[in-house]
Amino acid sequence: MEFYDVVKKRRSVRAFKNDPICEKSLARIAQSLQDAPSACNIQPWKFQIVFNQELRNKIYSCYTRPWLKEAPAIIVALADMDKCWKRLDGRPIADMDIGIAMEHVVLAAAAENLGTCWICAYNVEEMDRSLEIRQPWTVLAISPLGYAASAPAPINRKPITEIFEVIN
């Protein structure tokens, strides 16, 4: 699929079929993750694609929207807060690194006709505890992964003139 078509097609999906996920698609998504940039190329991430029902139940207990249960898999994006590069003021850059990597995964999934939805609105400590993730690792984002059961409703975007400026 052409890049701009993928970008246009990607939307947050919150309704899923229970169809099995194509393994070749998973391999290409993994490749897209490997190609993601990171500060100093540290790649302070690990992405888990969770099919295991017991683990999925633990994730649901931290983010209880029913639509999350529909997806056959959940992506868990983990960051290494120690190893990641630190800004000059000492703040870890992990949010940005994992954000980029996650978007590689999300766009690759869209190219594979797989739906995703960024999820960050959970208690991070509770999620880490529930999944037995130990410091310096932490779960910075999760997403369902599966084939969309319905198309998301049209969405409004800010006008380009408001968000993009060319300054000569």
Ligand X SMILES: Cc1cc2nc3c(=O)[nH]c(=O)nc-3n(C[C@H](O)[C@H](O)[C@H](O)COP(=O)(O)O)c2cc1C
- List residues near ligand X by CB under 6 A: 11-12, 117-121, 152, 155
Nearer to ligand X, 9 or 87 (CB): 9
Helix H or strand E segment including 30: helix 23-34
CB of 125 to ligand X, least distance (A): 16
Q: Are 29 and 110 a contacting pair, CB within 8 Å?
A: no
Structure tokens at 43: 């790649």
CB of 148 to ligand X, least distance (A): 11
- Measured at the CA of 57, the angle between CA 114 and CA 131, to 5 degrees, comes to 95
CB of 153 to ligand X, least distance (A): 9
For ligand X, the nearest residue by Cβ is 121
Listed residue (37, 44, 16, 13) closest to 106, CA to CA: 13
CB of 143 to ligand X, least distance (A): 9
Nearer to ligand X, 1 or 20 (CB): 1
Distance CA 93, CA 112 (A): 29
Nearer to ligand X, 133 or 148 (CB): 148
Nearer to ligand X, 20 or 103 (CB): 103
Helix H or strand E segment including 67: helix 66-70
